Chain A
Amino acid sequence: MAPPSRFGDKAFEWLTLAMAMAVVLLVILIGWQLWRGSSLAVQKFGFHFLTTSTWDPVTEQFGALPFIYGTLVSSFIALLIAVPLSVATAVYLTELAPLWIRQPIVSLIEMLAAIPSVILGLWGIFVMIPWLRDYPFPLLKRFFGWTPFFSGPIYGTSMLAGGIIIAIMILPIITSVSREILRSVPNLQREAAYALGATRWEVTRIAVLSYARKGLFGAVILGLGRALGETMAVTMVIGNTPQIAASLFKPGYTLASVIANEFTEATTDIYLQALFEIGLVLFGVTILVNLIAQLLLKTLTTTSTTRAVQ
């Protein structure tokens, strides 16, 4: 039996509800705007948009395949580099490191997370790329040049550079989420393993990591979501050439980068619409990936004290 609420109570509840609903409105707004802005292009190119690799503003031929390829490959490279490092670091911080060292390292990682993408890109252009061009890339070419991945001339700006810079950007998030997951493994599991005489590493391996598998996978997917959307740093080091090539030394182009680079230069309607459509594809993909990540991580979300309902 609900008693009559005073005007103030009801008004406040409605006000805050309206504000909370803003997130739903926001998603709808984004979807609608992207759809509206790309409708002509969708009509004209249809599904082939996703499978065509020509991107030629002059002849008004637009296909997203090079960017899809670039996004996927650069993200994959980033995960390949970042995931082992991040998870290992998370393991170190939660299980193996001496207590005094944990907080300083965590703080440093948080600082890395706070660095804006454009600054990482700046460093990428003037420090990382020259260094890559002079040392690691020639080495890779020397040893693995017989594979298609490391063949061809070395420019510096490349798919590989893009992957590396994305890796640096996603290290903090994968590390911190992995840490949360490892920390949420109940101590009982660890204690049981210790009681059997296991070493620290064995406890980690047996009791912690297998228990945390699902959550760690969620952390990786979250990192992937972040990688797919990386824009500025990638644009500055990947070379921005719409091509599909096997060699990682060749420049590439991602969905986010092409929008960043060409949006203000889109002179024709169809050009702009094609870019909007790229935005739509990017939106759809990142929503999907983030959805999966959130579902995997759902058990971790903090639900706390009982709330009053009136």
Chain B
Amino acid sequence: MVNLIMASPDPAVVEHVERPAELSPTTEPAPPLTFQVKNVSIWYGEKRAIDDVTLDIASNAVTAIIGPSGCGKSTFLRCLNRMHELVPKTRVEGRVLLQGEDLYSSTVDPAIVRRRVGMVFQKSNPFPTMSIGENVIIGLRLNGVRNQKFLNERLEKSLRMAALWDEVKDDLHKSGTSLSGGQQQRLCIARALAVEPEVLLMDEPCSALDPIATAKIEELIYELKAQYTIVTVTHNMQQAGRISDFTAFLYMGRLIEFGSTTKIFTNPSQKQTEDYITGRFG
């Protein structure tokens, strides 16, 4: 029986091992990628939560998904990395294509999908039994990477990208939960970045944070988009306006409008969009 505890490293990760690690974030932007959602519908049991949504996520940009509560924003986001499958009785129709490859095809392992499409959650959740350092590299470790030098380098790189390195570099052994709320969220971002996903999904990442911490994260998102394709759900319209390049407006599970943020916010085509933006309903 294969020794599953130290399983052979995943090819996607090994590829990264071979590349020389860099100590400072690379300055050239990542190559463009295609991330397309085609006719996706999602059911919870009998209830249809997302109804036939099609859109193309722009690469190296921030796409915001906005809409009133309960319209399915989080559900939609989670189907982009197959996280919705954790809830029983969910069913998805349609296709999600990353670099042309259907993430929902029966030959694809959901775990691999989630390595390529990472996620940061609303409530920061650093693992309580681990130190800051261990938290960041746990994704790599559990996927079989053992080279300590590589892990250390990736640790520093991820923390720098999350704008957290300077604050914690002397405290890497301390518990993950000893940080402030904003720092914990940045730690979670570093943790997600450590496995070097191509896309980063963020589910209301700032809603549990104070304005100062929020501002730091927003700044971080702006810097990260050079390297990653980012999709974020937010109920805060001002935030969407600030940080995103493209915006999708979801209402009652349907995609009402999708386009560049400037257009959506200044000259929306649909009346519903305009009503939501101007606060006629929320």
Q: Is A188 positioned at the interface, with any CB of B under 8 Å from its CB?
A: no
- Per-residue CB contact flags for chain A residues 236-269 toward chain B (1 = under 8 Å, else 0) read 0000000000000000000000000000000000
B100, chain A: closest CB distance, angstroms:
19
- Tell whether A306 pairs with B110 under 8 Å between CB atoms, given A1-B92, A7-B2, A8-B7: no
Which residues of B lie under 8 Å from residue A8 when comparing CB positions?
4, 7
CB of B12 closer than 8 Å to a CB of A: no
Instruction: Give 1 or 0 for each of B95-109: 1 = CB within 8 Å of chain A CB.
Output: 000000000101111
> Is B107's CB under 8 angstroms from A4's CB?
yes
The answer, yes or no, to whether B212 is at the interface (CB within 8 Å) is no
Chain A, interface residues (CB within 8 Å), range: 10 to 19
When C-beta atoms are compared, the residue in chain A nearest to B108 turns out to be: A3
Is A309 part of the binding interface, using a Cβ–Cβ cutoff of 8 Å?
A: yes
Q: A1-B106, A4-B109, A6-B109 are in contact. Are A310 and B86 (CB under 8 A)?
A: yes
Q: Is A308 interfacial (CB-CB < 8 Å)? A: yes
User: Closest CB of chain B to A9's CB: distance in Å?
Assistant: 9
Q: Mark B1-32, 1 if CB is under 8 A from A, else 0.
A: 01010010000000000000000000000000
Flag if B87 contacts A306 (CB, 8 Å).
Answer: yes
Contact A3 B106 (CB under 8 A): yes
Instruction: Assess whether A11 is interfacial by the CB under 8 Å rule.
Output: yes
Q: Are the CB atoms of B85 and A310 closer together than 8 Å?
A: yes
Nearest residue in A to B4 (C-beta to C-beta)? A8
Partner of B110, one of A3, A11, A309: A3
Number of interface residues of B (CB under 8 A): 17
CB closest chain-A residue, reference B91 = A1
In the complex, the answer to whether A308 meets B86 with C-beta atoms within 8 Å is yes
The reply to whether the CB of B279 lies closer than 8 angstroms to some CB of chain A is: no
Q: Within residues 6 to 33 of chain A, which ones have a CB less than 8 A from any CB in chain B?
A: 6-8, 11
Q: How far is the CA of A45 from the CA of B113 in the complex (A)?
A: 68
Q: How far is the CB of A60 from chain B (nearest CB, A)?
A: 55
Give the distance in Å from the alpha carbon of A4 to the alpha carbon of B87 in the complex: 17
Q: Are A309 and B4 in contact (CB under 8 A)?
A: no
Besides the contacts A3-B85, A310-B85, A310-B110, what 19 more A-B pairs have beta carbons closer than 8 Å? A1-B91, A1-B104, A1-B106, A3-B82, A3-B104, A3-B106, A3-B108, A3-B109, A3-B110, A4-B107, A6-B109, A6-B111, A7-B4, A8-B4, A8-B7, A306-B87, A308-B87, A309-B88, A310-B86
A→B interface (CB under 8 Å) = 1, 3-4, 6-8, 11, 306, 308-310
Instruction: Enumerate 30 A-B pairs (CB-CB under 8 Å) in ascending A order.
Output: A1-B91, A1-B92, A1-B104, A1-B106, A3-B82, A3-B85, A3-B104, A3-B106, A3-B108, A3-B109, A3-B110, A4-B106, A4-B107, A4-B109, A6-B109, A6-B111, A7-B2, A7-B4, A8-B4, A8-B7, A11-B4, A306-B87, A308-B86, A308-B87, A309-B86, A309-B87, A309-B88, A310-B85, A310-B86, A310-B110
